[in-house]
Amino acid sequence: MPIQLRTADTAHTEEVTWIVTTSHAPWRRQRGPVTGTVTAPPDVIVRTSETRQTIEGFGACFNELGWAALAALGESARSEVLRELFAPGVGANLTLCRMPIGANDFARDWYSYDEVDGDHALEHFSIEHDHETLIPFIRGALEHQPGLRLWASPWSPPAWMKTNKHYAGAVVPPWLPGLENGLRPEQVCTEGTDMFVLEQRYLQTYAAYFGRFVDEYRDQGIAVEMVMPQNEFNSPQVFPSCTWTPNGLIQFLRHLGPEMKKRDVAVFLGTLERGDAGLVEEVLRDPEVSEHVRGVGFQWGGKRAVAAVHSSHPELRIYQTEQECGDGRNDWRYCRYAWTQLKHYLDNGTSAYTYWNIALSEGGQSTWGWTQNSLVTVDPTTESFTYNHEYYLLKHVGGFVAPGARVLETLSLNGYENQVAFVNPDGSVVLVVHNDMAEEMPVRLMVDDRMVEVTLPADSFSTFLVPPGD
């Protein structure tokens, strides 16, 4: 039920939507008390005139194993899930999503779009593989969210373009028995090296490879509007990966930038997985490259660098590119941790926030032996599905915050700092508040000259949607 709101100096009331999620009761509409005359100072003050970055959207990543999980459902159930995730006004309203260029760690197996050694003309380039998984996955989302925006990055170039001629850069550790990627000792790579062959014809071919990817997806009615040159360019992994030094990225971006400019596709630097802003600075110091870079993407340890980069380069858009993936238990503990990630990025200039796995089958394990969380868990034996805690957390934000919203500063003199606030293009205000205590918490939330006074349930997430002011 909506709660009612009064201004501080009149008896005028307005309806305020209040949604609460706890570990045992997700997404409950609450009946709140009617606020009376303001008799005490507010705990949280929000001024709609104090705006920060613009929100471009919230989303997740289209992975092959996600589609494999959803494909185990009947058509009606699968459509129900996609509608809940993507349809405006229904659920999480995901509007800005990521996809891989070729195989990633949640692909069914290794592949690229051209594994013919020496094919610099890309005569054998093909996205035929994606017609089984990624293309129907994205089309299913587009049916419910026609305005869905997409960006993409590779986890590995074609193996023949790499110095070790292999999709991976690290051997499978002994604690993953039964898994093998076939990497020989002499093929192992280390952080701080270039796994890509830094010769002009290879760099030109790889930039053209990106161009073919964009073109062929457009032919399928799927527009990719931005690319990043490499996922986690510091990290050699047991799954598809490729390390690049800043110098190597500079050489590649000199080719990739013009190739994408022809197609009106933006280029971001990322994804940065290390808390070292100097890696970004070194690349951006090249004037030819900085002319093409429109933003920076951060994930995992990169969260320690996002504030410094945003401060030094306010002209660049900041994306959080992959929420840390958890351990497959999809428990409330990790949902609470996910909130800290979301809040950290929003507090430090992020315009887009990307969850990782949209869906996984029961167990949540990747081809390469990593068990992870997902928004939705599918039980293929019963053809049933479950929305996990982290889905409801994402829905608490994405379900109310429209693209084009502005992040608002919040001020508290009483130690209430566990909230984020937004003003939508229509003037409505969204407040998302986490009560992390094991007891109820009374709170007074003042939005401009209007007060919302409620008692938050113990260990809960609340979203308040306050209608536009006069």
Total residue count of the chain as it appears in this document: 470
Number of H helices, E strands in the chain: 10, 21
Mean pLDDT, rounded, for 227-245: 97
For residues 152 and 138, is the Cβ–Cβ distance under 8 A?
A: no
User: Position 421: which residue type?
Assistant: A
Cα 125 to Cα 212: distance, rounded to the nearest angstrom: 8
SS3 143: helix
H helices of 285-421, where?
287-290, 306-312, 332-347, 389-398
Cα 283 to Cα 287: distance, rounded to the nearest angstrom: 9
- pLDDT for the residue numbered 7: 47
Q: Say if residue 462 is exposed, middle or buried (CB neighbours under 10 Å; 0-12, 13-18, 19+).
A: buried
For residues 346 and 393, is the Cβ–Cβ distance under 8 A?
A: no
Q: Average pLDDT over the chain, rounded to whole?
A: 95
pLDDT band at 366 (very low <50, low <70, confident <90, very high): very high
- How many C-beta atoms lie closer than 10 Å to residue 329's C-beta? 13
pLDDT band at 323 (very low <50, low <70, confident <90, very high): very high
Q: Residue 38: is its pLDDT beyond 70?
A: no
Tokens of 317: 């858009």
SS3 267: strand
User: Position 361: which residue type?
Assistant: S
SS3 201: helix
- Could you report the per-residue pLDDT of 262-274, keeping only the tens digit for each? 999 999 999 999 9
Q: Residue 8: is its pLDDT beyond 50?
A: no
For residues 129 and 104, is the Cβ–Cβ distance under 8 A?
A: no
Rg for the chain (alpha carbons), in Å? 23
Give 232-258 as a DSSP string. STT---SSS-----HHHHHHHHHHHHH
User: Position 29: which residue type?
Assistant: R
For residues 280 and 311, is the Cβ–Cβ distance under 8 A?
A: no
For residues 205 and 120, is the Cβ–Cβ distance under 8 A?
A: yes
Query: pLDDT over 90 for what percent of the chain?
Result: 92
pLDDT band at 352 (very low <50, low <70, confident <90, very high): very high
Tokens 């992994």: give the residue. 237
Contacts of 36 (CB under 8 A, 6+ apart): 6
- How many C-beta atoms lie closer than 10 Å to residue 437's C-beta? 12
- pLDDT for the residue numbered 39: 64
Mean pLDDT, rounded, for 49-73: 98
**What single-letter DSSP state applies at residue 196?**
B
- pLDDT for the residue numbered 3: 57
Among 156, 165, 176, 174, residue whose Cα is nearest residue 105: 156
- pLDDT for the residue numbered 34: 45
**What single-letter DSSP state applies at residue 161?**
G
Q: Say if residue 304 is exposed, middle or buried (CB neighbours under 10 Å; 0-12, 13-18, 19+).
A: middle
Residue 45 CA from chain centroid, whole number: 29
Q: Among 2-16, 100-114, 195-209, 394-408, which is the least confidently predicted range?
A: 2-16
Tokens of 250: 């500079």
Catalogue all structural domains in the chain, each as residue range(s) with its CATH number.
3-53+406-466 (2.60.40.1180), 56-398 (3.20.20.80)
Tokens 């709609």: give the residue. 48
Model pTM? 0.95
- Could you report the per-residue pLDDT of 120-160, keeping only the tens digit for each? 999 999 999 999 999 999 999 999 999 999 999 999 999 99
The packing angle between helices 64-71 and 134-144, to 10°, is 70
- pLDDT for the residue numbered 282: 97
H helices of 134-291, where?
134-144, 200-219, 246-261, 277-284, 287-290
Cα 374 to Cα 319: distance, rounded to the nearest angstrom: 20
Cα 106 to Cα 84: distance, rounded to the nearest angstrom: 22
Cα 449 to Cα 234: distance, rounded to the nearest angstrom: 49
- Could you report the per-residue pLDDT of 415-450, keeping only the tens digit for each? 999 999 999 999 999 999 999 999 999 999 999 989
Q: Say if residue 79 is exposed, middle or buried (CB neighbours under 10 Å; 0-12, 13-18, 19+).
A: middle
